[in-house]
Amino acid sequence: MKPLIKLALTGAVLVLILIIAFRLHTLLGWGVIIVMVGGMVYASRASYYTIRGSSAFMADQFEQALAWYRKAYASKPCPEKHQIGYAYLLMRTGDSEQAEAVLQKLLGRTSNHEIKMQARCNLATAYWLQGKRNESVKELEGVFEQYKNTLVYGNLGYFKLMHVDLNESLEFNLDAYAFNNDDQTILDNCALNYYMLGKMTEAEAMFEKLMSKSPKRAEPYYYYALTLKKLGKKEEAAEQIKQALGKELSFLTTVTRIEITEAAKEMSVE
């Protein structure tokens, strides 16, 4: 049954129950309303928990966000999109194995195509964090065959960059750039891909476009600094590595804080 039809039928039944209750007795009618409202509040508690969790997440309070999403997940029913959010927060807080379990369980019972694709994208990330890189790339390639959007282009482009032939990954990342040349992840992938291939002029051009968007994480500034250093632009490189020192790392990164600190020392930046 289609969701709108099901919703309309449910609404009609509830209205009928209310009419009958009020005809029998006014107090009975109000009692039914109170029960209905209470039921609606109880059924929507998962959404309340996720609102609190999302607020904590936006403030970079990941453990607190996870606690709220865990409450949402334990609430029945928990909407499928919130289950994906719970899995994502598990990954952000270092429990990729539990995230995988949550996503596999969801995939085993959902019939919603959009939810399946989102869950598989997150499952690929869970695999990646566990070091299952072949499984990660394969999972996202399966998604990409039927679900092309900026997020998939960005994630798969990064995984390919870190796992397959650099020329192959560049071809994919340039396709992604043609799809969306304004996305930070795609720009970062292209810039880093050029850098890793030793194409510093092309890398610099991509990094310049990326920097105009003021990326939040440290990695773009770090690699931009290395690019500028290789191009002999020492002062500009020092400015970028200084920016990298003050930024947080991405949870998917292969860069370490030590690497950034060492690069800064080599550029005489503290």
Residue 190 lies in a domain: no
Residue 75 lies in a domain: yes
* Grouped pLDDT means (10 residues each) for the chain, 270 residues: 49 54 56 47 65 86 90 87 94 96 97 95 97 96 94 97 95 98 98 98 98 96 98 96 95 94 90
What does the pLDDT read at residue 164? 87
Residue 127 lies in a domain: yes
- pTM of the model as a whole: 0.81
The answer to whether 263 and 224 are in contact (CB under 8 A) is no
> Cα–Cα distance between 100 and 76 in angstroms, integer?
20
> Cα–Cα distance between 69 and 111 in angstroms, integer?
22
For residues 244, 64, 125, 157, the Cα torsion angle rounded to the nearest 10 degrees is -40
Residue 133 lies in a domain: yes
Q: Which two tokens stand for residue 166?
A: 């650099």
What does the pLDDT read at residue 3? 47
What does the pLDDT read at residue 268? 87
Residue 129 lies in a domain: yes
What does the pLDDT read at residue 196? 98
Residue 125 lies in a domain: yes
Q: Which two tokens stand for residue 240?
A: 């970028």
If 0-12 CB within 10 Å is exposed, 13-18 middle and 19+ buried, where does residue 113 land? exposed
Residue 182 lies in a domain: no
CATH of the domain at 115: 1.25.40.10
Quote the number of domains for the chain: 1
Residue 18 lies in a domain: no
Host domain of residue 99: 45-50+63-147
What does the pLDDT read at residue 77? 82
